[in-house]
């Protein structure tokens, strides 16, 4: 008599060819245009900082897992992506030890101490950026490096958003293309948008978070920006700073964002509101990083109130 056994496993019972490695690789591919542009824009120093950041994140993850006798998972490319995102959030003029310090903090403190991939409570790259920004504010806000493709005045180093907040004129075309001061990977709005659209088209991320984020911030700027319904002023806010990098590549992080459709909409709206408050009413011209980290902490609460009610006993019929 032949016996057949059923394999019983925990839900969700969804089959998909996607893996952590393939997802991370797609995000890296989407970031490549903005990364290469950042290297061309800011020169060899940007390349070195990127390599140091990625290498530090990979080595830190490998070393931690090796000495803690855990499964080595550097092959899933998550550490590579963290290192790349951290580098893209750094000014091109920071010293070489800074991406090393940031990479160790991102992987060991934010990621591994909380259980590794899937357990971290905030985006590791953003956590490291905020750590560096708080600890070394002067160096992290020095954008005076002039690259090969830039047309800005390297003696001032003011980002377009800082100039906009100070009432100075900024060039929208340069902001859209990326020929402005800023971090290595945040300046070119068009390349970041194209990368984000690639991820949406591939089904790697949902449109809900980035679109709700950008739409909410747009409404906030129009209502409270002090310029009325000025389309140029709005476009400058959308193209400036880390909005496009944050909206498409960091706010959509699987681990630290809601998985429910309603939760993603709420998450995106909260991100837009907080970013608007930080930019318009805060002391700094930026606000994307802190908005995302703050909303990361609210994800469990958001999902608690947006999880669909189950059918059956105790649920809706």
Structure confidence by residue, pLDDT tens digits, 11-23: 445 555 668 889 9
Does 316 map to a domain? Answer: no
Does 313 map to a domain? Answer: no
Does 314 map to a domain? Answer: no
Structure confidence by residue, pLDDT tens digits, 239-277: 988 999 999 999 999 889 999 999 999 999 999 999 999
Partners of 311 in beta bridges: 316
Q: How many CA atoms lie within 13 A of 188 on its CB side?
A: 24
* Residue 155, pLDDT score: 38
Q: How many CA atoms lie within 13 A of 20 on its CB side?
A: 14
Does 10 map to a domain? Answer: no
Closest alpha carbon to 295 in 315, 268, 313:
268
Weakest-pLDDT range from 76-85, 119-128, 206-215: 119-128
Q: What is the DSSP string of 40-73?
A: HHH-HHHHHHHHHHHHHHHHHHHHHHHHTT----
Work out the mean pLDDT of the chain and round it to a whole number. 88
Rg (CA), the chain: 21
Structurally, the chain folds into a number of domains equal to: 1
Look at the alpha carbons of 286, 205, 88, 104 in this order and tell me if their dihedral is positive or negative.
Answer: positive
Give me the CATH number covering residue 56: 1.10.3430
Residue entry with tokens 């318009």:
280
Structure confidence by residue, pLDDT tens digits, 126-182: 999 999 999 999 899 888 765 554 544 443 457 888 888 888 888 899 999 998 888
8 Cβ contact list (under 8 Å, min separation 6)? none
**Does residue 145 have a cis bond before it (omega within 30 degrees)?**
no
Does 311 map to a domain? Answer: no
* Residue 314, pLDDT score: 57
Alpha-carbon span 186 to 219, nearest angstrom: 22
Alpha-carbon span 26 to 19, nearest angstrom: 11
Tell me the two tokens of residue 167.
């009432």
At 311, is the secondary structure helix, strand, or coil?
strand
Tell me the two tokens of residue 215.
């739409």
Partners of 316 in beta bridges: 311
pLDDT, average across residues 28-43: 95
**Does residue 269 have a cis bond before it (omega within 30 degrees)?**
no
At 192, is the secondary structure helix, strand, or coil?
helix
pLDDT, average across residues 62-72: 93
* Residue 7, pLDDT score: 57
Does 3 map to a domain? Answer: no
Give the domain range for residue 297: 20-147+158-304
Does 99 map to a domain? Answer: yes
* Residue 257, pLDDT score: 93
Do 73 and 19 contact (CB within 8 A), yes or no? Answer: no
Do 213 and 255 contact (CB within 8 A), yes or no? Answer: no
Alpha-carbon span 208 to 231, nearest angstrom: 23
Does 9 map to a domain? Answer: no
* Residue 100, pLDDT score: 97
Structure confidence by residue, pLDDT tens digits, 193-205: 999 999 999 999 9
Residues listed for the chain: 317
């Amino acid at each position: 008599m032949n016996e057949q056994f059923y394999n019983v496993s925990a839900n969700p019972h969804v089959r998909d060819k996607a893996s952590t490695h393939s997802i991370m690789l797609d995000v890296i591919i989407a970031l490549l245009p903005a990364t290469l542009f950042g290297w061309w824009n800011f020169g060899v120093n940007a390349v070195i900082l990127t390599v140091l950041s990625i290498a530090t994140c990979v080595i830190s993850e490998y070393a931690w897992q090796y000495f803690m006798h855990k499964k080595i998972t550097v092959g899933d490319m998550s550490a590579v992506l963290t290192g790349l995102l951290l580098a893209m959030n750094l000014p091109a003029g920071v010293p070489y030890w800074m991406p090393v310090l940031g990479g160790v903090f991102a992987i060991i403190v934010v990621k591994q101490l909380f259980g590794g991939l899937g357990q971290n409570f905030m985006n590791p790259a953003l956590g490291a950026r905020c750590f560096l920004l708080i600890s070394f504010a002067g160096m992290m806000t020095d954008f005076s490096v002039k690259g090969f493709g830039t047309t800005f005045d390297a003696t001032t180093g003011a980002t377009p958003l800082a100039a906009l907040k100070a009432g100075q004129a900024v060039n929208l075309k340069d902001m859209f293309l990326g020929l402005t001061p800023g971090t290595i990977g945040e300046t070119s709005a068009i390349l970041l948008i194209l990368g984000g659209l690639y991820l949406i088209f591939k089904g790697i991320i949902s449109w809900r978070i980035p679109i709700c984020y950008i739409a909410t911030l747009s409404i906030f700027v129009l209502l409270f920006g002090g310029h009325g319904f000025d389309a140029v002023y709005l476009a400058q806010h959308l193209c400036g700073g880390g909005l496009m990098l944050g909206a498409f590549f960091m706010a959509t992080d699987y681990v630290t964002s809601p998985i429910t459709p309603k939760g993603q909409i709420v998450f995106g709206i909260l991100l837009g509101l907080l970013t608007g408050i930080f930019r318009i009413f805060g002391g700094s011209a930026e606000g994307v990083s802190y908005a995302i980290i703050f909303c990361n902490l609210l994800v469990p609460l958001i999902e608690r109130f947006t999880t669909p009610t189950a059918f059956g006993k105790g649920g809706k019929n």
